[in-house]
């Protein structure tokens, strides 16, 4: 398994602007639709079910490199049934949001981290790389074209899904010589229909989300499909998500599709925020990094990236030193955890005993930045 220092070094050495051949935002071709779709009620949005009028597409071939970016009306993709993405999961994606602030401005939140992670995953997946700055400029233009789709709401946003797939029609396990990068967007409400309410977890001891040397640290679709089965198992036991464990010592790794944080009372009476380290099993989440960065500026808590086992977690729960536990991610921001089902037993957590003050504090700080109520270098203006 990679050590945290070595893994972080590898990530830090890969910026989101590469020297590889790339497309240019200045060359973008815009084809606007003549009749747009009606927009849904921002207070009744289902996550990922509504889409804006336009999409961004950029084709790539090994022989000719990247073509010019095109913003065009949203449409179905036409790919050959032998396309590598359909057989060997030659695919990756990102998840971002555009926020309409209290002042009417539209902003992105730390998009440089999304670009960096997307390029890391493209390299690992042997899909074509590009200059992340150029894709970011293309995304900004796409959001500008569909600016009316960014909800005027405090709880809804425009979700942005950049995706890169291998489209070469050839049935062989090899790098794809043809690829398609596309970006779709759509207005979304809360990821969980219940909103900011605590969830229960099934701590699974049989299935594995990630392993050393695998793809756990990368945002590839192949990481997510296999988890659906286990999530159905969790739902059958009255849980909303899975607490993913790893190895004989059952290290706590992630929660569903989110990073995980535990708020602990240490022996001196202080508060420590703990999350598993980026050791190759953990996705380097944008919200995760933001929580770490914020927490390190607060003098009343200590922030730690260290491994923690299920036994240690339950010991903390039983001796009342586990104050709160929550998941984090772009879709949900933070999600409090109130119960864990493990080896047939149910363990109630103290998260909501006092209203989850730390979870709420992180949530409010991040939301204030995203919606422009608090100035920050983390936001990028679109309009």
Q: What is the pLDDT of residues 328-376, one digit of tens each?
A: 999 889 999 999 999 999 999 999 999 999 999 999 999 999 999 999 9
Confidence of residue 1 (pLDDT cuts 50, 70, 90): very low
For residue 37, what is the DSSP state?
P
Output the six-digit token pair for 341.
């089902």
pLDDT score, position 43: 85
pLDDT score, position 268: 87
Residue bearing the bigger pLDDT, 339 or 12 = 339
Confidence of residue 267 (pLDDT cuts 50, 70, 90): confident
Chain CA centroid to CA 37, Å: 27
- Ranking 15-29, 149-163, 247-261 by mean pLDDT, the lowest is 15-29
Confidence of residue 279 (pLDDT cuts 50, 70, 90): very high
In tens, the pLDDT along 42-57 reads 888 988 999 999 999 9
If you search the block for the tokens 């790794």, which residue do you land on? 253
- Do the beta carbons of residue 158 and residue 98 sit within 8 Å? yes
pLDDT score, position 8: 45
The predicted model gives 10-24 an average pLDDT of: 66
The CATH architecture assigned to 199-372 reads Alpha-Beta Barrel (3.20)
Helix, strand and coil in the chain, % to nearest 5: 25, 30, 45
- Domain boundaries defined on the chain: 25-33+41-188, 199-372
pLDDT above 90 covers a percentage of the chain that reads: 88
Sign of CA dihedral 185, 191, 194, 196: negative
The predicted model gives 29-36 an average pLDDT of: 95
- Do the beta carbons of residue 351 and residue 362 sit within 8 Å? no
Q: Is the pLDDT of residue 163 over 70?
A: yes
Report pTM: 0.94
Mean pLDDT of the chain: 94
CATH number for the region 25-33+41-188 comes to 3.30.470.10
pLDDT score, position 105: 97
Q: Is the pLDDT of residue 245 over 60?
A: yes
- The strand pair at 301-305 and 271-275 is best described as parallel
Give the helix/strand (H/E) hosting 241.
strand 241-246
- Do the beta carbons of residue 193 and residue 176 sit within 8 Å? no
The predicted model gives 263-285 an average pLDDT of: 96
Q: Is the pLDDT of residue 23 over 90?
A: yes
Chain CA centroid to CA 129, Å: 20
For 362-379, give the DSSP string. HHHHHHHHHTTSS--TTE
Confidence of residue 5 (pLDDT cuts 50, 70, 90): very low
pLDDT score, position 11: 46
pLDDT score, position 2: 44
357: left (phi over 0), alpha (psi -120 to 50) or beta: alpha
Q: How far apart are CA 76 and CA 293, in angstroms?
A: 40
């Amino acid at each position: 398994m990679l050590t945290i220092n070595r893994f972080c070094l590898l990530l830090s050495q890969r910026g989101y602007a590469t020297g590889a051949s790339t497309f240019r935002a200045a060359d973008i071709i815009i084809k606007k639709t003549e009749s747009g779709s009606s927009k849904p009620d921002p207070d009744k949005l289902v996550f990922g079910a509504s889409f804006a009028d336009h999409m961004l597409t950029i084709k790539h071939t090994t022989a000719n490199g990247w073509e010019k970016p095109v913003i065009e009306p949203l449409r179905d993709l036409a790919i050959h049934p032998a396309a590598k993405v359909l057989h060997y999961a030659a695919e990756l994606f990102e998840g971002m949001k555009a926020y309409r602030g209290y002042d009417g401005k539209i902003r992105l939140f730390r998009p440089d981290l999304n670009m960096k992670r997307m390029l890391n995953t493209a390299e690992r997946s042997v899909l074509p790389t590009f200059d992340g700055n150029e894709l970011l400029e293309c995304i900004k233009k796409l959001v500008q074209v569909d600016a009316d789709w960014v909800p005027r709401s405090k709880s809804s946003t425009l979700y942005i899904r950049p995706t890169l797939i291998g489209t070469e029609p050839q049935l062989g396990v090899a790098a794809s010589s043809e690829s398609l990068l596309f970006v779709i967007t759509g207005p979304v409400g809360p990821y969980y229909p219940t909103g900011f309410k605590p969830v229960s977890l099934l701590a699974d001891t049989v299935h594995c989300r990630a392993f050393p040397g695998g793809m756990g640290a990368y945002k590839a679709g192949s990481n997510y499909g296999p988890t659906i089965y286990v999530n159905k198992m969790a739902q059958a036991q009255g849980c909303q998500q899975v607490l993913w464990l790893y190895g004989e010592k059952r290290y706590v790794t992630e929660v569903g599709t989110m990073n995980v944080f535990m708020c602990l009372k240490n022996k001196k009476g202080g508060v420590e925020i703990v999350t598993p380290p980026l050791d190759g099993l953990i996705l380097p989440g944008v919200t995760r990094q933001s929580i770490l960065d914020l927490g390190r500026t607060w003098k009343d808590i200590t922030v730690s990236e260290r491994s923690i086992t299920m036994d240690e977690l339950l010991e903390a729960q039983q001796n009342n030193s586990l104050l709160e536990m929550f998941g984090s991610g772009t879709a949900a921001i933070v999600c409090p955890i109130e119960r864990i089902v493990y080896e047939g037993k149910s363990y109630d957590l103290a998260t909501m005993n006092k209203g989850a003050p730390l979870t709420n504090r992180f949530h409010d700080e991040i939301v204030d930045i995203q919606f422009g109520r608090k100035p920050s270098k983390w936001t990028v203006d679109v309009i």
